[in-house]
Amino acid sequence: MNRDLSKGSVVKSMLLFAIPMILGDLLQQCYNIADTLIVGQFLGEKALAAVGSSFTLMTFITSIILGLCIGSGVLFSIRFGQRDENGLKEDICASFFFITAVTILLNIIAYISLSGLRTFLRVPEEVWGDMREYLFIIFMGIPAVFLYNYFASYLRAIGNSVIPLLFLAVSSILNIILDLWFVIGLKLGVAGAAQATVISQYLSGVGIMVYTLMRYKQVCAIWKIRYLKKERIREIISFSMLTCIQQSVMNLGILMVQGLVNSFGTVVMAAFAAAVKIDAFAYMPVQDFGNAFSTFIAQNYGAKEKKRIQQGLKAAVRISAIFCVVVSAFVYIFAKPLMMIFVDAKETAIIMEGVRYLRIEGAFYIGIGWLFLLYGLYRALGRPGMSVILTVFSLGTRVALAYILSAIPAIGVVGIWWSIPIGWALADIVGLLYYEIKKQNLVEKEPEM
């Protein structure tokens, strides 16, 4: 199932590699989609607001682990392209030990800071009880998030995007079954929804770890101290930490916006909770395509296939644009029916606010699609620092505009919705200008590792 992306048709290689990644992440979204759908329909508005706010926080925590795994995966891809098996083993060992330590620390911090989250996120008193109960259980799944993303990153780095999909498919089905049983059958409330998600996460995390260790002997280097080199640890920290910063800054900005949204009351909170799931589901494929594109570029960078890098970039821009236009049209037209999947038809205020959000965001998905390509390009070329700069610029613009525009009485909460696509567009302009100016140096120079 391994795929050498430095050979064969450029478009075919990218699409065949990307499709399982896209399907896999769409299934992963089902973890939270199932919670939101069942909680919204059977537990009511307050429970929906609690789970929605929890999702934003967990996305931030997950982004730290995901960033480290993505950064390590880029290094794995470059080693694979270089055919450097010993270097690959050393990177595997160093990254596993480092990310394991970070995961343990994150889990401890999450529980210690739980009581202070209500103030930081401006959570209304009537929502906090359910949110605290949900988070206490969900935090137990953080190690499982690490296991899945780490071993999935390795498999994707060597061109195998099918196995991660299979494990997610099984765990997503289990998640939905357990959600229905725990929430509707056993009447466990938001705690039941959280338990269903955590159990499913461990199935995918432990399962993919066992498979990878049994199938790929070089991955057993995670246990072998002789492969733990100081220079590799420094390399992993310098490279993957930048990717981690990018991912966490991205979601920290979203978390700050969540706090602003919460200040507008339960109706806006519930609308945002449902709409953001639809929003994430809609543009998740282009985010995954950006990650697949990054692996394609990294393998070709390691193999010194400069012509394929240029061909891949042009093809990726076209593919992303076509997909975004189609999805934008769909979300704009069907915004109301999509909201009614998550919210009872009687909750008209929530539905209409969610529709307004989706029609503003949905019209500009091409902006985020191209931004994900720029992130992937700079990571793969060994310039994760540029990805961080673009992320900080985009998020800084979005957060600043959200607070400024929403403070104007005539605009209100709509200002938050408009700040997001404006941030995408401005970051795209900066990223494209930088690439045009530095094009030759980016491809010719060695990675900054």
pLDDT tens across 79-100, in order?
Answer: 887 887 887 888 888 889 899 9
Q: Is 59 within 8 Å of 25 (Cβ atoms)?
A: no
What whole-number distance in Å separates Cα of residue 31 and Cα of residue 287? 18
Q: Report the 10 Å Cβ neighbour count for 269.
A: 27
Percentage of the residues of the chain whose pLDDT score is greater than 70: 93
Q: Which of 162, 217, 220, 246 is nearest to 431 (CA)?
A: 246
Q: Is the pLDDT of residue 26 over 80?
A: no
pLDDT at 431: 93
Q: Is 272 within 8 Å of 52 (Cβ atoms)?
A: yes
pLDDT at 228: 67
Cα–Cα distance list, 261 to 108, 169, 217, 258, 280 (Å) = 28, 33, 48, 5, 17
What whole-number distance in Å separates Cα of residue 396 and Cα of residue 402? 10
- Which pTM value belongs to this model? 0.78
What whole-number distance in Å separates Cα of residue 385 and Cα of residue 438? 14
Token readout for 172 is: 């997503």
What whole-number distance in Å separates Cα of residue 259 and Cα of residue 2? 43
Q: Is 186 left (phi over 0), alpha (psi -120 to 50) or beta?
A: alpha
Q: Is the pLDDT of residue 438 over 60?
A: yes
pLDDT at 203: 94
Q: How confident is the model at residue 234 (pLDDT cuts 50, 70, 90)?
A: confident
pLDDT at 379: 85
pLDDT at 54: 82
Q: How confident is the model at residue 427 (pLDDT cuts 50, 70, 90)?
A: very high
What whole-number distance in Å separates Cα of residue 343 and Cα of residue 350? 8
pLDDT at 316: 94
Q: Is the pLDDT of residue 177 over 70?
A: yes
pLDDT at 89: 83
Q: Is 3 left (phi over 0), alpha (psi -120 to 50) or beta?
A: beta
Q: In the predicted model, what is the mean pLDDT of residues 388-405? A: 90
Report the chain's terminal Cα–Cα distance, integer Å: 29
Q: In the predicted model, what is the mean pLDDT of residues 384-397? A: 88
Chain centroid to Cα 178, Å, comes to 24
Q: In the predicted model, what is the mean pLDDT of residues 7-28? A: 85
Q: Is the pLDDT of residue 448 over 70?
A: no
